[in-house]
Structure 1
């Protein structure tokens, strides 16, 4: 077994020193849905145990040790799938503690799972843990999950992208201890008009973020905003309003964490135009009954929409979700 803290500290310190020379060869050996060697970093989804993926469920059910993101992973999920596993809450623990914990358990032959809320790819801080583990000789990989903005859109019975309303989606977070003011681009996204802006890790800063938007000439104060607290949890709550009044509503509700903020017309699901997908373009005909021009936008949009998920595109804190 590798020696303790000193080696782990070196691995953690060097975790960001990935080679820029090319992709890891395993990229071409495995798909995202495959079970692989090592410790899986699993996206637990937004909260409801039913939104854990089938692959994630299989791996969690078999685990001896589950390192989870504290209260950000619902107790219902832990009770349903981790009843026979040792549970370790990662909140308040640094990498110098977590990496040896997972490494040692893996080297002892235990089945280890790292459980992140939402999807580890969105504000999950998974990569630095994976790199540190692999420097310790322990392979690791990611199992995707359902991110909270997708759950919020489902709750609101809308889409993040809507034809004629929102052509783009921005995943972002507000300025604060982690993000400097010059790196806060919420205002720029909202000013574009056809962007659905999804704010992660920002429940505590809704009022401040909206005040900054109101100071921008290019932002309409009546722009719709929806705040979904604990999307898919039993205590889920939805607050709707505008840039002008949503801050006060969220403050009145008393929420300081664990809510997804969606800004833009798509939050209401109103005003969209019919897509090309189920119209004449889908039959290879133009809107006037003629043959569709392969160089026009119509067939391309229909093919894209039918063949792929058009919606696809934190460092965790102690007060907000990993995702």
Structure 2
């Protein structure tokens, strides 16, 4: 660790320094796209360490690709208690398990690199989908810089499990045309970077707040101070799809009291907007008269379905 090595492009780098690797990979990304962008699609079998989305909690919500990779794994580096232990027992009981909680990049990168170079099947298992607040790319860049290929395997993010639990859509015609995945201000996000109030003000946005259970009262107080309707629906889904899942539905005006009464400080997805209840939506165009416009007779051309839509 710490010795200077030569990379493929003959640039001297500090071996084992994740930050230097991240910076170098970022510079390369600015110059050109990785060739693999054009060679592979999501779901393809690829060489390297897969960064797999474990899904929201229920083992059955793991993707087929993710399950296959876990079943073939020798080493699984997982996101601790954020991954349901039932999933680990179902698909990883044969593999060495390493909890990534409390470990920094300086420890994780050599661990995964060395195992991969020894010929072991390594899987990096993130909760939900690694592309949503997963801090995956920095690990991937550090590994790639040391010659270890990596790739994403998508997972079901908790917002989708939450909408399924609520039995509603995140987008609804005439109710919500947009969805925002966001987080509240705190150590990672400054007050100027917190746009929750902006999203709510738009009116037709379903705002899904990650990593914000502990800040529900602060968030709702700011929304009230900004003049938002206290009756705006809010749903809080604790441990979406886990055995101990809990659903609390209220409004901007009262949800903080409900959450504090329940005692939740983490691991819940907060959803703000009329889509929470699913009330007031209009019938979509997809299955209405619009879909059959211009049809005459029973020809296949005139009666075919229009392009699919979320509405």
Same-fold call, TM cutoff 0.5: yes
Partner of 1:81: 91
Cα drift, residue 17 of structure 1: 3.5
Partner of 1:260: 269
Cα drift, residue 21 of structure 1: 2.5
Q: 1:24 aligns with which of 7, 10, 34?
A: 34
1:38 lines up with 2:48 in the alignment = yes
Aligned Cα RMSD in Å?
2.0
Partner of 2:243: 234
After the TM superposition, list the runs of 4 or more consecutive aligned residues in structure 1 that deviate by more than 2 angstroms. 1-4, 10-19, 301-304
Q: Deviations over 1:235-282 (max 9, x none)?
A: 000001000000111111111111000000001011110001111122
Q: 2:140 aligns with which of 121, 125, 130?
A: 130
Partner of 1:320: none
Contact 1:103 / 1:138 at 8 angstroms: preserved in 2?
yes
Contact 2:21 / 2:142 at 8 angstroms: preserved in 1?
yes
How many corresponding residue pairs?
292
1:187 lines up with 2:197 in the alignment = yes
Partner of 2:66: 56
Structure 2 residue matching 1:234: 3-state secondary structure: coil
Structure 2 residue matching 1:208: 3-state secondary structure: helix
Q: Could you list the runs of 5+ residues in structure 1 that have no partner in the other structure?
A: 290-300, 312-323
Partner of 1:245: 254
Partner of 2:75: 65
Give the Cα separation in 1 of the matches to 2:308 and 2:80.
38
Cα drift, residue 2 of structure 1: 10
Partner of 2:16: 8
**Normalising by the residue count of structure 1, what TM-score does the alignment of the two structures yield?**
0.87
**Normalising by the residue count of structure 2, what TM-score does the alignment of the two structures yield?**
0.90
1:220 lines up with 2:229 in the alignment = yes
Give the Cα separation in 1 of the matches to 2:109 and 2:231.
47
Contact 2:286 / 2:308 at 8 angstroms: preserved in 1?
no
Give the Cα separation in 1 of the matches to 2:79 and 2:131.
14
Contact 1:190 / 1:263 at 8 angstroms: preserved in 2?
yes
Cα drift, residue 92 of structure 1: 0.7
Higher RCO (C-alpha under 8 Å, 6+ residues apart): 1
Q: 1:167 aligns with which of 162, 177, 187?
A: 177
Cα drift, residue 19 of structure 1: 2.5
